[in-house]
């Protein structure tokens, strides 16, 4: 992966669900959402408080723009570069996580 990425990856057990990328000098942050290992939703937000949604798209299971969802300020030609970046970050996050210890989710139930 080119350059140093500033990101946080969120896993549930061994499954990657979300990567938040926040370049230090940028006025925005990226949120890459994954389902079954594939990018399905992307958001670009301003870093201010409150954050403002600048761009957004949803992909279907074939990786194509989903016109049923609310897509904001995005051209279909921009999606491959965003998907490549999401894949780079995903590979880096999985490599960094290494072997994840998977435990069942704790449940608060009375016997």
Task: Please tell me the pTM assigned to this model.
Answer: 0.79
Summarised one tens digit per residue, pLDDT across range 29-40 is: 999 999 988 999
Q: How far is CA 108 from CA 74, 105, 111, in A?
A: 43, 10, 10
Summarised one tens digit per residue, pLDDT across range 77-103 is: 889 999 999 999 999 998 887 755 454
């Amino acid at each position: 992966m080119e350059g140093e990425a500033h990101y946080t990856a969120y896993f549930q057990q061994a499954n990657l669900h979300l990567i938040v990328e926040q370049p230090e000098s940028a006025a925005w942050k990226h949120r890459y959402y994954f389902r079954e290992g594939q990018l399905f939703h992307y958001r670009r937000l301003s870093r201010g408080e409150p954050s403002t949604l600048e761009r957004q798209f949803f992909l279907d299971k074939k990786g194509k723009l989903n016109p049923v969802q609310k897509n904001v300020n995005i051209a279909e030609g921009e999606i491959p570069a965003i998907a490549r970046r999401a894949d780079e970050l995903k590979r880096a996050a999985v490599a960094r996580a290494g072997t994840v210890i998977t435990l069942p989710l704790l449940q608060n139930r009375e016997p």
